[in-house]
Structure 1
Amino acid sequence: MIRVSDIMDKEVINVKNGKRLGYITDIDMDVNEGKIVSFTLLGDGGRGIFSRGGEGEIIFWNDILKIGCDTIIVNIGSELNLDEFNI
């Protein structure tokens, strides 16, 4: 079992493009089921425990691939377009 405080300290990274999405600032739970539904992120540097204010990015529980020691790996959005970089 993992504690909410453990999740809040981990950086969220998108596996599709390697982008650092930031840190979790809020958690949406289904209290009837006792399960986490989604997380809210405020982006790089937007750390805080259950902070309010500003628009955040929503990450759904189903988008999480792996919760590691230091990071949470998610699978969201489109893949990196290498044509943009003339590779």
Structure 2
Amino acid sequence: MMRISDIMEKEVINIKNGKKMGYITDIDLDINEGKVISFTILGDSRNFFSRGSDEDVVFFSDILKVGCDTIIVNLGSEINLDEFNIDKL
């Protein structure tokens, strides 16, 4: 079993584009079912007082793996290689 404080210390990374999303700042729970519904991630900052950063919501079903230091999620579309002028394989 994992504590909420343990989860909030892990960095969230999106596997689709490799982006470091930040750290979990809030957890949405369904008290009646006893399940986690979603996590709120505040930018790429661990500072609670930093306002103006982007907030992302990650649903529990989007989590692929919880590792020692990171949480891997599957969000959004894949990276666009044309944007970076990289030849596709």
**Fold match by TM threshold 0.5:** yes
Greater C-alpha radius of gyration: 2
TM-score using structure 2 length: 0.87
Asked if 2 retains the 8 angstrom alpha-carbon contact of 1:25 and 1:47, the reply is no
How many pairs does the alignment contain? 84
SS of equivalent residue, structure 1 residue 44:
coil
Deviation string 1:21-65 (CA, Å, 9 cap, x unpaired) is 0000000000011110000011101444xx8x6662100000000
Aligned Cα root-mean-square deviation (Å): 1.6
Runs of 4+ in structure 1 over 4 Å off: none
Specify every segment of 5 or more residues in structure 1 that has no aligned partner in the other structure, as ranges. Answer: none
Alignment of 1:86 onto 2:85:
yes
SS of equivalent residue, structure 1 residue 5:
helix
Partner Cα distance (1:21, 1:35) in 2: 23
Specify every segment of 5 or more residues in structure 2 that has no aligned partner in the other structure, as ranges. Answer: none
Letter in 2 for 1:59: V
TM-score using structure 1 length: 0.89
